[in-house]
Amino acid sequence: MPLPPQGDTIAAIATAPGVGAVGIVRLSGPESYTVGARLFAPHSGRCVTDLPAGRIVYGRVTDGEELVDEALLLTFRTPHSYTGEDVLELQTHGGPAVLRRALELCLRHGARLAQPGEFTLRAYLSGRLDLVQAEAVLDLVNAQSDSARRSAALGLSKALTEQLDLIQSDVTRVYGNLQAVFDYPDEGVPDADFIEPLGRAVGRIDKLLATAKAGRIAQRGARLALIGKPNAGKSSLLNALLGYRRSLVSDVPGTTRDYLEAPLDILGVPVTAVDTAGIRDTGDAIEASGVELAKSIARNADLSLLLLDTSTPLEPEDLALIAELDPARLLVVASKTDLSAVWGPQTHGIATLNVSATTGEGLETLRQTVRERLIGDAGGTELWLGGERQVSALETVRENLLRAQAAPDDLAALDLEDALRTLAELTGRGDIAEETLEHIFKNFCVGK
């Protein structure tokens, strides 16, 4: 879908679908105040077109002689608005019928319906936001956890842009020095003016790329698989983590034949926990399918909790399952530690966390360990890369800089040009392909 035309006046409902106490219809563009004057009558008697910026005005939304609703009107004037244009926000009661009627009046009186993300697109095109900030807006809207919200808020505050600017500054410095060498070839470039800035830029890129996993999981959530033999305590642990009974607990082996999903928040990280079928050899075709599905879920999960029941003997199949799974995405949990132990982790050199779903022992440590294994400390910051576009661009810049470090001056200059071009595209300060803007803003909701 091509980018929408600019310069006209757009309107959209800016609040989520459904019933609420308050709903918002937003107008942006040069005719916003004219459109507003045709449907909103302030109780003060003033005309909307005469209202200054920064006012909250009480009045009525009308369709001719018909009263649609009593509402508030918020006024913004260019360039001091979200989009950088004249903007009106109409706050009505939040019923769907009221909002639809108010929007219909805006469209009837000269506005057109905004496309997804068009208000934020205009904020970018007017220079109110750079492209990284625009992406942070979407991340903030979609944030499902407090850590995702904090990371998106940092991106919106230009904290990520400032880090990118530092990288660009170092690359620009080296590129400028190389251009000087071409003009004065006998001078050369001191190592301090070439190696050090590029090394510093690569180091900053590496720190940002190290946050990519944390950013992805904070925004999209992680899948946490609970696996183990029948009666290992998987369902009990899931219920304990949730704080309520979600999964059926039974002493009968093979109770869980399919898998069960439940969303939970682990210390600010959104997680979908998956309780799987008990893993064992069985002649039951349905249960065997559940076992294979459990193994597949574990292989594809961001992290698997393998529960080993300390109150029953450890079997070779348990050790074989540990060996089968990726250790980077595996956490072994010694369950039912409130019961008399038949074996201990030290017997087989297995690193485990001791947990009792019955008494709650070890649950807090388990939560902290799961969070650390999923997102790490990400360099001790919550300024995380927010999407694949940012990760891909920085990986490209890193490759350019590494090649420049090893290349002769003329080829190094070409690599640095590519790096600077990619950095400009990342922040939106260079020539941005229309397809890139379409890809970014199509994911926004209408009204943002």
Which residues are documented as binding site for (6S)-5-formyl-5,6,7,8-tetrahydrofolate? 26, 89, 128, 448
Annotated binding site for K(+): 231, 250, 252, 255
Annotated binding site: 26, 89, 128, 231-236, 250-256, 275-278, 448
Q: What's the burial of 385, exposed, middle or buried (CB within 10 Å: 0-12/13-18/19+)?
A: buried
φ/ψ of residue 383, rounded to 5 = -85, 90
Amino acid identity of residue 111, one-letter, is A
Angstrom distance (rounded) from CA 31 to CA 437:
25
Annotated binding site for GTP: 231-236, 250-256, 275-278
Q: Are 256 and 234 in contact (CB under 8 A)?
A: yes
In the block, residue with structure tokens 């698989």: 225
Annotated binding site for Mg(2+): 235, 256
